[in-house]
Amino acid sequence: MPITVPVVPEGVDPAWLPPDAFRALGSRRTLILGSEPLVKTVHSEVAHACTQFGGEVVRGASSAPHDLVLRLAGDEGGSTGEEGFTHERGAGTTTVTASGQRGLLYGLFHVVRLGEDAFRGARPREVHQPATALRMLDHWDNVAVHPVMGQVERGYAGGSLFWQDGRAHGDSERVRAYGRLLAACGVNAVSVNNVNVHDVEAHLLTDRIGEVAQIAQALRPYGIRTHLSVTFAAPVVLGRLPTADPLDEAVREWWAKAVAAVYAAIPDFGGFVVKADSEGQPGPFTYGRTHADGANMLASALAPHDGTVHWRAFVYDHRQDWRDRATDRARAAYDHFAPLDGKFADNAVLQVKHGPMDFQVREPVSPVFGALPRTRVAVEMQVTQEYTGQQKHVCWLGPMWSEVLRFRPEGEQGRSVGELATGGSVAVSNAGDDPFWTGHPLAQANLYTFGRLSWRPDADPLRILDEWIALTFPAVPERLAAGLRTVLRNSWRTYEKYTAPLGVGFMVQPGHHYGPAVDGYEYSPWGTYHFADRDGIGVDRSAATGTGYAGQYSEPWSARYESAASCPDELLLFFHHVPYGHVLKSGKTVVQHIYDTHFEGVEEAEEARRVWAGLADLVEPARHARVAERFEEQVRGAREWRDQVNSYFLRKSGVPDERGRTIY
């Protein structure tokens, strides 16, 4: 059956691939050389564009002149790897050459991004290759609706794209369209179910693998490899073995047979994602084994099939005694995994959250990235906005992720996180079956930005934002482009201003994590404290007098974080308990900074709402109305954050706002 461009139901937003984004390509004469499966996808994309805009597509050798040549050339002229491509223009022809099929697909979307610029002037030969071989989205989707977390855990964009009514979703076109969007921004892998694997989801590994194969078939034409989250206890839950001990020979044989059956159903299957010994999920600790033992057992089963196990480093004590000031959740990943460096198999990847806690609006970069030189590590981020507004607040995270990826754990002469993360770049997806894919239409920018930064971690996020604007709103009037930049580019810092201050984190409603509750987790077992009292606020994580977390970093960071005098203001309360009168490098006291930023954050949210309202004549009505509705909620929420946080610290400290503004 010939491959066709996915057709989504009427009313589903095209996101960053609207028809007009293909106008420059579709109005030209294009020669395509190659006959492999993904080349057929390239051909279908070009043919579809030409049908719309009057161009012509030619398959096979031709001596006639062409505006664009897309050719799969193997290693001829130098290999660019499976996913890389070259791009050049001369004598009136733009040429994209790739060694591998995926490379030609990515080369096509590169031409789409360039638009008319792809066909102007002359361009010397450029080589484009991704920084890492794996750029994956983890979906926290449940097959069966969970009584607490619903269809999608931490999902803010409707139901699952993959699962409905307890089985694989019947709408494969929507899944194909999702794969197309991901390929266009550089994502090449998807894990299709929740890392918290419940009983129903556990069966996807065995008797329900056919449903996973159905999803893989829909994603395959756009070069997306399918992964599966599995429970470590599968031999017990599914195989009725008495143990899941990773060193037990019967357990290892069970996994080997299970994996072989998976690859029989899905030959290009990517591998497993595993959350073990974390937040109640089973793991090797039950049997007195290490995480390396557990990961390596699965790696051994996957190795004959070129599969990978992604073992999450999110392991900590979630039953902490809040009275115990020595136990520090931030230390946990380093303490568990640094001693295991060099003990993981080559096809085992340790998946490390970018910060030591849990995707907060501001955290230091995890010291684990500098502690595992002999282990393949992937950096994990959260595109779904669990702690950054839940896609009700606009909060473009590109600048945050860029800071993480550019951070150098061993100082300026060392490698960046983007370079150290040889195991790939992974994020929790923010997409669902909402007509706008991400609930908040502007949250699409986060999904797109993650893909592009995964391809090139040192890219300028502001250029990526402009790229997203140009694709999503083709031929955009400058007033609209400028308005979108105004609304988005500083939105992360705006959100930070009216929520938890100076890196202290959390202060959210327990459970669902939306909205302010300054003491929401202060006496909980989750280890997420701010320790505010009448005299000050913050967590002492110094080596000298605190939990010692600062000492997990190499120099110069350990010394910089150790002292309140040298610690960056934006992380001060993460590393130090200081008086409310402590003077920041900005010249303000801590408590005045709290007051000022919370008033400023609300003002900036109100201004963004005003700017968006002024763009109504330039934006499709349904999209404008959805964003306007979300801005009303954002402004309401920002005011609530401001008033609760400011009132809390006025009452705690007894220090009035020096500017005399209303604090309740």
- What pLDDT shows up at residue 63? 73
Separation between Cα atoms, residue 230 and residue 197, nearest integer Å: 6
Separation between Cα atoms, residue 184 and residue 181, nearest integer Å: 5
Domain that holds residue 110: 19-128
Count how many domains the chain has.
3
- Give the chain's mean pLDDT: 97
97 and 157 co-located in one domain? no
122 and 265 co-located in one domain? no
Separation between Cα atoms, residue 270 and residue 17, nearest integer Å: 26
458 and 515 co-located in one domain? no
| pLDDT of 128 strictly over 70 | yes
pLDDT tens digits, residue range 457-513?
999 999 999 999 999 999 889 999 999 999 999 999 999 999 999 999 999 999 999
| Integer angstrom CA distances of residue 654 from 252, 331, 499, 550 | 62, 33, 20, 31
Q: Are strands 85-90 and 123-128 parallel, antiparallel or unpaired?
A: antiparallel
pLDDT tens digits, residue range 4-34?
999 988 999 999 999 999 999 999 999 999 9
Domain membership of residue 29 (yes or no) is yes
Q: Which of 440, 472, 504 is the endpoint of a domain?
A: 472
Query: Taking the model in full, what pTM does it have?
Result: 0.97
Q: Which of 87, 110, 128 is the endpoint of a domain?
A: 128
Q: Which of 472, 504, 519 is the endpoint of a domain?
A: 472
CA dihedral 7, 9, 13, 19 (to 10 degrees): 30
- What pLDDT shows up at residue 370? 94
- What pLDDT shows up at residue 71? 96
66 and 194 co-located in one domain? no
338 and 464 co-located in one domain? yes
- pLDDT-derived band at 60 (thresholds 50, 70, 90) equals confident
Give mean pLDDT, residues 577-581.
Answer: 98
- pLDDT-derived band at 1 (thresholds 50, 70, 90) equals very low
Domain membership of residue 377 (yes or no) is yes
User: Phi/psi at 85 (nearest 5 deg)?
Assistant: -155, 160
| pLDDT of 77 strictly over 60 | no
Q: Are strands 135-138 and 348-353 parallel, antiparallel or unpaired?
A: unpaired
CATH number at residue 369: 3.20.20.80
Give the residue numbers annotated as catalytic, written as ranges: 279, 358, 386
pLDDT tens digits, residue range 515-549?
999 999 999 999 999 999 999 999 999 999 999 99
DSSP string, 291-305: HHHHHHHHHHHHGGG
Q: Which has the closest alpha carbon to 86: 116, 64, 62, 106?
A: 106
- What pLDDT shows up at residue 560? 98
